[in-house]
Amino acid sequence: MLQIKDLKAKIDNKEILKGLNLEIKSGEVHAIMGPNGSGKSTLSNVLSGKKGYTVSGDVTYLNENLLDLEIEERAHKGIFLAFQYPLEIPGVNTNIFLKTSLNAIKKAKGEKELDAIEFLKLVKQKASELKFDEKILSRQLNVGFSGGEKKKNEILQMSILNPKLSILDETDSGLDIDALKIVSEGVNALRSKESSFLIITHYQRLLEYIKPDFVHVLINGQIVKSGGSELALELESKGYENLS
Amino acid sequence: MEQLKIDFDKVIESLKLSDENINSRKKNFNQFIENGFPNKKVEDWKFSDLNQIISSNIENLCFHSDLELSEIDETIFIDKFAHNKIVFLNGAISNIDFNYEDDTKVLLTRDLNQNENFKEVNPLVSLNNALTASYIRVTVKENYSFNKPLIIYNITTKDLKSTALNLKTDIVLEKNSSLKVINLFDDNSENNFINIVQNFDIAQDATLKNYKIDHKTNSNIKYCYNNINLEKNSISENFIFSTGSKFIKNEINCNLNDEYSSAFINGILNLTKSQHHEIKTNINHLAENTKSYQLIKSVLNDNAKGIYQGKIYVDAKAQKTNGYQLSKALLLNENTEFDGKPELEIYADDVKCSHGATSGNLDEDAIFYLMSRGLSHQQSKELLIKGFLLDAVEKITDEEIKNLIKDMMGIVE
């Protein structure tokens, strides 16, 4: 599904990613762990198309050159980024935003757009699966949401948009254990042969709930070690320092 | 100016006026002649040089119009809710309809001689005082609340060109009465100068909701002066929806004359091309425990110019005043200009007054967030802009009118 070869990314003339290689196949869950400043968020930003980076290398997604695609085209083709810090958008109703987003993607795929009733039915179902209070959805997007509500809202968007490749950027940070369980269940419910996940995290904690197929260690812009889910436990006990 | 004098004589001749009224008009006329249209050397007009704006947009401005009343195109009337109507057509009152109200509770007069509101405020108000040919006063009797809103339509037709219109309305709310009024512009004419003076006297416990809608794109130059007097425990809620005219300056002078009166002035400027709109407010806190609140949101595109000058004056008597104003502007293009001039003049010591102003471009991170959900750059921008403006629109307390304005902004819910 996704092949990354020798990916380099610079911002303000500072090189953050320094030749990263990674392959994710359909149905796989990959976790990327690494200390602060190792380039984890840069990787998720570059994959979803955020402007401001000077990027080189090859990234192939579903047999297309991903780096040639605009931000919204990547979303149309099934890439979803759950933000580490979801933005507050004053004046924009959450439900209207969700519907606009879903229909933009459906339209790009040539599928029939949902009308208001069909959409509400879908949103109700998904919200109740995530134990997410529907009332929140009539509020302004993320405005005044608690940290946990913002993260749940990201997962709700993910489950409504049903992406092929989901990138979760430190989704576990700021979540208490109950919220963490709910979010993990939401992610696990989406696991299938057709969908893949890239989970970026600091801690092993999230990986107790979402069991990855592969764990990679990102240090100083490069993947220095890869392994199975047991690598996460090893990192937890030994730390990153013994790796580099 | 020669032409102006001839036009003035024509106006006086065509109206049946008392000697007293004629004298007063002459005095006002001379005040205007001495000062002319305000230019940028006048402090209040430093961001909007009206003299220059008029001379560069209107050739041979005529101050007297003997256009015959044309047919009103009824499709321009709002059909979303039932309402009472006053229709100004090319400056003349063509239609008055208060079908939804008890006619013993609403007094109307169009007698120009009864209009005693000749105050020396500024040259434009003087010009209006001198030349007004259309006048209406609406008095709402004690304890009466209007069943339906009143829409004052200001319509111009294609026949009208390079003419100055001077319109005047007085609204009087007696004790414990209430009224919602919408001033709606429908301009089909070109290059006219429209000068509107409105006075609102709001007695004890009365509530006025006053909404101004300048929505339809047009090439007219407008000045609207509102004077609002508030008595004990009365409320004035104002909203200015400013997006249509080539130039418009909305000036509001609001006197909080007695305890527990409150004034709300919210509005949006949403401008493109070379539009130039200004909101200027003077809020005078003249008694204890009075409150004022202002929120102005502006979105400027192309080479548009927006201005908000907001002054809060607190008299030495006006302890426990609560005054607030905030202006936020989005400048979407480097050729746009926004000028903000907040002013606080405070002579009492136990008051709560604050003001704030921000201006900037759209948040790129917010655009990235929306685009990462499949929205195009354009869709993301539009959503953010509407959201930005909606903040002020949500302050409107009347649901029907709020929805009318949302509709005009293309917000679907």
Check A96 against B364: CB less than 8 A apart: no
Tell me the count of A-B CB pairs closer than 8 A: 76
The percent of residues above 70 in pLDDT, for chain B, comes to 98
Q: Answer whether B408 touches A (CB < 8 Å).
A: no
Average pLDDT over residues B284-309: 98
Pairwise CA distance, residues B237 & B392, whole Å? 13
Mean pLDDT of chain B: 94
pLDDT at B373 over 70: yes
Residue-wise pLDDT for B244-276, tens only, equals: 999 999 999 999 999 999 999 999 999 999 999
- Main-chain phi, psi angles of A216, to 5 degrees: -120, 145
Quick one: which H or E segment has residue B182? strand B178-187
Q: Which residue has the tokens 């990102």?
A: A218
Provide the pLDDT confidence category of residue B9 given band limits of 50, 70 and 90: very high
CB within 8 Å of chain B, chain A residues 59-98: 70-72, 74-76, 80-81, 83, 86-87, 89-93, 96-97
Pairwise CA distance, residues A204 & A215, whole Å? 10
Give pLDDT, residue A120. Answer: 93
Check B373 against A161: CB less than 8 A apart: yes
Record the pTM: 0.90
Give pLDDT, residue B122. Answer: 93
The percent of residues above 90 in pLDDT, for chain B, comes to 87
Give pLDDT, residue B116. Answer: 67
- Distance (Å) from the alpha carbon of B326 to chain A's nearest alpha carbon: 16
pLDDT at A131 over 90: no
Q: Which ranges of A49-115 would DSSP assign to H, the alpha helix? A: 71-76, 94-108
Structure-model confidence comparison of residues B287 and A180, the more confident one: B287
In this structure, which CATH number among 3.40.225.10, 3.40.50.720, 3.40.50.300, 3.40.50.280 belongs to the domain A2-238? 3.40.50.300
Give pLDDT, residue B161. Answer: 83
The percent of residues above 70 in pLDDT, for chain A, comes to 99
Beta carbons of B284 and B256 less than 8 angstroms apart: yes
Give pLDDT, residue B162. Answer: 82
Residue of B nearest to A143 (CA): B387
Average pLDDT over residues B211-235: 97
Average pLDDT over residues A159-181: 91
Residue A160 has which token pair? 């409504």
B307 contact partners, CB below 8 Å, separation of at least 6: B47, B48, B277, B278, B279, B280, B338, B339, B340, B341
Interface test with B, best of A79, A92, A120 (most B CBs within 10 A): A92
Residue B11 has which token pair? 């106006």
Q: Which amino acid belongs to residue A110?
A: G
Pairwise CA distance, residues B113 & B91, whole Å? 18
Can you give the residue ranges of every domain in chain A? 2-238
Residue A181 has which token pair? 């369980």
Give pLDDT, residue B118. Answer: 60
Q: Answer whether A11 touches B (CB < 8 Å).
A: no
Give pLDDT, residue B294. Answer: 98
- Distance (Å) from the alpha carbon of A18 to chain B's nearest alpha carbon: 24
